[in-house]
Amino acid sequence: MVVGELTQETDLLVIGGGPGGYVAACVAADLGIQTTVVEWAEVPGGVCLREGCIPSKALLHVAKIIGDAEHAGSFGVAFEQPKVDVKKLRNWKNGVIRRLSTGIKGLLSNRKVDYITGRATFEDSRRARIEGGDVARIKFKHCIIATGSRAKMLPESLLPRELCWDAADALKIEEVPRRLLVIGGGYIGLELGQVYAALGSEVTILETLESLLPGADPDLVKPLLGKLRKQFKAILTGAALKGVKKKGGAVEVAFSHDGSDKRESFERILVSVGRQPNSDGIGIEKTKAEVDDLGFITVDAQRRTTDKRLFAIGDVACQPMLAHKAMREAKVAVEAIAGHPSAFDPACIPAVVYTDPELAWCGVTEPEALAQGLNVKVTKFPWTASGRAVSMGRTDGLTKMIFDAETQRLLGIGIVGVHAGDLISEGVLAIEMAAVAEDIGSSIHPHPATSETIAEAAEALFGRAVHVGH
Ligand code: NAI
């Protein structure tokens, strides 16, 4: 120890101030646990707030307005071509981030949580060294590691880092490139692809697999794909990047697709090929916590690591890398530290892709049910039969439900359509409450609302869906 260095003691050290970390700190403070958060960024909120979920949703909102204005032409309401003031848009998006991060700071300070700006690395299972802060070392009784994840990049030899954007770069909205190549057709690629297409870029998606959004039910992807084909210049599935060469202000990209080698120029390349956990660079090897081959910190149902004083939550702990999963894990880990019999055992975790139309699902998908050999019955309700969807001119939707064939219990639900991300909560609750088709179908849903498609898809199990033919 260096003489004169300040060591602070805390009951709970939370490393990382993202949706996992700040929620853990708030819950801990509410339970009377003295808590310190160490976060390298000035403001809390994590990647989700600074350069992920929130700014992307702010920009997708703008993209949807642009799309809706264009669509209104078919109802006889014509708007002029939008003029996008990129600087103003950027300022507005930054304002959204500022407002929410100020809010989170307030939540922490009102609860007397100590917020230290700096980088924490473990010295052992009781101490962490802090770089860049006023405090040099923190001695803790328990620690929750909530360090999140970062974008995976392609090998430097294939695509040098200086020639590409990750999601955080793209969300800065510093420019709208004329031609944008998006490598990876997953959550980020499609969401940000739609943002830039709406702002005027010619977007090309290059995806290794034969289909977009691996893990999503192809029936749900289909309506989205129909829209993307109109918005994007090209969607190249089953394609492989071969190399890039800088040429003037553009980058010439070599790739293979459809059995032949091709070359095309782009002003920008966005890489969205997944994320990797931030378990390195935090001195985890100085503790007894273990890290698996993919870089996730090994945890049990209480989110305790193999070092009993340390817990890990969120993207650094396990898949899925979703903020709402981290928030729930935060509660479980803190309650476990407080001695409560808490465990992370959700019946399902919803996934939402905030494209237009949105895609949302929870529980098992039909392909998963088939792969697992489950005895299921699948029902579908097309949004062409929804009065609300027709009245919005948005019949590009589908509600699909997976029931246990014997018990009629809901095992999974998938929705594609406008605001599917809001609708999915009914499915989450139904699965958590072990609802059967009769519970859902007999519950009175408001009319006209797209949520009726859930009740109708449940009624379809008995051949009782009124608004579809037999
Ligand atoms: P992703 O896992 O969703 O998609 C990555 C895609 O890239 C896959 O389709 C994969 O086949 C493809 N790919 C991989 N290597 C490739 C290569 N060399 N060339 C071409 N394609 C390649 O990952 P993404 O979009 O980067 O997002 C990361 C994670 O962030 C998501 O899995 C999700 O957990 C989270 N996220 C969640 C959002 C939400 O909840 N709405 C939004 C954005 C991200």
Domains of the chain: 7-151+276-337 (3.50.50.60), 161-273 (3.50.50.60), 351-462 (3.30.390.30)
Ligand 1 site-directed mutation target among 188, 237, 324, most atoms within 8 Å of CB = 188
* Residue 445 annotated in active site: no
Q: How far is the CA of 197 from the centre of ligand 1 (A)?
A: 18
Expressed in angstroms and rounded, the spacing between residue 245 Cα and the centre of ligand 1 is 24
**How many C-alpha atoms does 107 have within 13 Å on its Cβ side?**
21
CA of 111 to the centre of ligand 1 (A): 36
Amino acid making up residue 432:
E
**For residue 2, is pLDDT > 60?**
no
pLDDT over 80 at 469, yes or no: no
Category of 279 on φ-ψ map: left (φ > 0), alpha (ψ -120 to 50) or beta:
alpha
In this prediction, residues 215-243 reach a mean pLDDT of: 97
> Which residue ranges have their beta carbon within 6 Å of ligand 1?
154, 183-189, 191, 206-209, 214, 241, 272-275, 320-322, 352-354
Q: How far is CA 377 from CA 372, 383, 410, in A?
A: 14, 20, 10
Please give the Cα distance from 18 to 327 (Å, whole number): 9
Angle, alpha carbons 145-42-8 (nearest 5°): 55
Which of these, 155, 125, 159, lies nearest to 140 by C-alpha position? Answer: 125
> Which of 187, 190, 225 is the best mutation target for the ligand 1 pocket, counting ligand atoms within 8 Å of the beta carbon and taking the most?
187
Take residue 314 and report the two structure tokens written for it.
């969120």
pLDDT exceeds 70 at position 111? yes
How much is the average pLDDT of 109-131? 97
Q: Flag whether pLDDT at 5 surpasses 60.
A: yes
Phi, psi of 367 (to 5 degrees): -60, -35
pLDDT the model gives residue 454? 98
pLDDT in tens, 321-377: 999 999 999 999 999 999 999 999 999 999 999 999 999 999 999 999 999 999 999
Q: What's the pLDDT score for residue 404?
A: 98
Could you tell me where the DSSP H helices lie in 200-281?
218-231
Atom of ligand 1 nearest to the CA of 213: 9
Can you give the pTM of this predicted structure?
0.96
How far apart are the CA of 13 and the centre of ligand 1, in A?
31
Interacting residues of 382 by C-beta distance below 8 A, sequence separation 6+: 395, 397, 398, 468
pLDDT digits (tens, 9 = 90+) for 246-255: 998 899 999 9
**DSSP-derived 3-state class of residue 454:** helix
Q: What mean pLDDT do residues 139-151 have?
A: 98
Residues 6 or more apart whose Cβ sits within 8 Å of residue 94: none
* Residue with CA nearest ligand 1 atom 4: 186
Please tell me what DSSP assigns to residue 216.
S
Alpha-carbon span 450 to 426, nearest angstrom: 12
Residue 372 has a pLDDT of 98
Q: Does 3 have pLDDT greater than 80?
A: no
Which pLDDT belongs to residue 133?
78
- pLDDT digit string, tens, across residues 393-408: 999 999 999 999 999 9
- The confidence band for 134, taking pLDDT boundaries of 50, 70 and 90, is confident
Continuous segment of H or E residues that includes residue 195:
helix 187-199
- Mutate which of 273, 316, 319 for ligand 1 pocket (most atoms within 8 A of beta carbon): 273
Identified catalytic residue from 71, 340, 447, 467? 447
